[in-house]
Amino acid sequence: MKRLVFLLLLLAGPVQADERRSGFADMSRETQAMQQDDALNPAMLWVAEGEVLWNSGSPACASCHGAPQAMRGVAARYPAYDAASEKVFDLARRVNACRSRHQGQAPFAPESDEILALTALIGQQSRGLPLAPPDDARLAPHRQRGAMLYRQRIGQLNFSCVQCHDDNAGRRLAGSIIPQGHPTGYPLYRLEWQGLGSLQRRLRNCMIGLRAEPFAYDADAMIELELYLVERARGMPVETPAVRP
């Protein structure tokens, strides 16, 4: 199987220029138009549900933070270090921590419609802003572990993230362009899924595709890999909620 994958890559043509580019650039014009028009973007259904959740509960998110627009810039700064727990939080962890600490409610389940809706709503407020992960020394060892995970060969196919998204980005695999793997639009609507999904869902899909045991949702290793990927994409504009094939 591994030899077949390499053969498909070799037959696929030359790698594109070594410049950072969002997966948006590699999509068809029709899919790009779907992302760019909020009236066509199916992810906006989750954003609308996020607005309902934002204003629900006692206290509601709005009770502390005001309108969702007040969250502009927040999503662009995650993952970040949480001093209270001494852990790295992605945006979903932050939402659930607020829910537990300040609303007295049980956390939403990973990849539930509720957590996807709220993170999509918050992420949308930063659309167009550059990704700006914190320059926090406490994040350094976690980011280093994320970089190691990015380069580590895993699974029965014995591949790493680097081999696809660095070494062969721009080539085609089974007819699809291999993206550079920049997490600029999550949570996003994936046509393959016919639904919204987080970056963690996409990473798990990749791990399963390599015939590896995927990290559990919300595992520390998963967050550390996210942390490195966002650093790798530093300065690229937020597209949340994006659309992908």
Strand partners, 197: 188
Are the C-beta atoms of 181 and 169 separated by less than 8 Å?
A: yes
- Determine the Cα–Cα distance for residues 204 and 238; give it in Å rounded to an integer: 22
Close Cβ partners of 97 (under 8 Å, ≥ 6 residues apart): 82, 84, 85, 89, 107
Q: What is the DSSP letter of 220?
A: H
Locate 135 and state its tokens.
Answer: 């320059």
- The H or E element spanning position 209 is helix 199-209
Q: What is the DSSP letter of 14?
A: P
Q: Give 104-107's long-range contacts (Cβ < 8 A, gap of 24+).
A: 105/57
- Bond into 79 cis (ω within 30): yes
Residue whose structure tokens are 């890559």 = 9
Examine the residue annotation and report whether 164 is marked as an active-site residue of this protein. Answer: no
Catalytic position from the list 61, 64, 98, 206: 206
Strand partners, 87: 82
Locate 43 and state its tokens.
Answer: 């992810």
Q: What is the DSSP letter of 181?
A: -
Close Cβ partners of 145 (under 8 Å, ≥ 6 residues apart): 221, 224
Residues classed as catalytic: 206
